[in-house]
Amino acid sequence: MKGKHSQINYSIYAKQKRELENIQVTIENLSNISVLIANTTHSFNCSFSFFEEKNHACIKYNISATIKLICQDSLEPFDYPITVTNSIIITEDNRLVQDSLHEPFICESALIDLQDIIKEEILLELPLAPKKDASSCKKTKKHSYYSEQETVTEEKLNPFEILKKLK
């Protein structure tokens, strides 16, 4: 699914209890939502199940993919697998669905873009500072203020040393 094909009328799908299983959703320019994501096209394997709860459309979904993140140590891209399972209730105002067990998703139009759901979940799944595995990341040892190479230890005099000499 790409572009306009990812926009669906969620209320009709929910009334019909439709399911979209094992679909591919391609998203370009994910680097626009976070600088931690490499600027490449990403493909997501998704399953969406639509249903109604208390006259509101709901979507249960499963999203899995491998996205390219930028390592914050080496600044090289690396693969980061994500798998998300969640359910949302679509509403115009989240106060209307406070008693629901599903997370509210604000949508003011009759169409919902599945890419928006995926983008929101990606933002929630991103690590604060993505890093490759320690074994594959080329790290250079940085000397810190407290590193062993730079510490200068002064020899402290024992105050009782003078007393030993007086004996």
Tens digits of residue pLDDT in 26-64: 888 887 888 888 888 899 999 999 999 888 899 999 999
Write out the H or E segment, with its range, that includes residue 114.
helix 114-125
CA separation (Å) from 134 to 4, 79, 84, 131? 41, 14, 25, 8
Mean pLDDT, residues 79-102 taken together? 86
pLDDT given at position 48: 94
Residue 114, phi then psi, degrees to nearest 5: -60, -25
Supply 40's token pair: 């490449």
pLDDT given at position 4: 46
**Alpha carbons 102 and 97: distance in angstroms, whole number:** 9
3-state DSSP call for residue 17?
Answer: coil
Write down the mean pLDDT value for the chain. 82
Letter for the amino acid at 6? Answer: S
**Alpha carbons 114 and 4: distance in angstroms, whole number:** 10
In this structure, the number of other CB atoms found within 10 A of the CB of residue 11 comes to: 17
Degrees (nearest 5) of the Cα angle 153, 157, 161? 155
Mean pLDDT, residues 122-127 taken together? 89
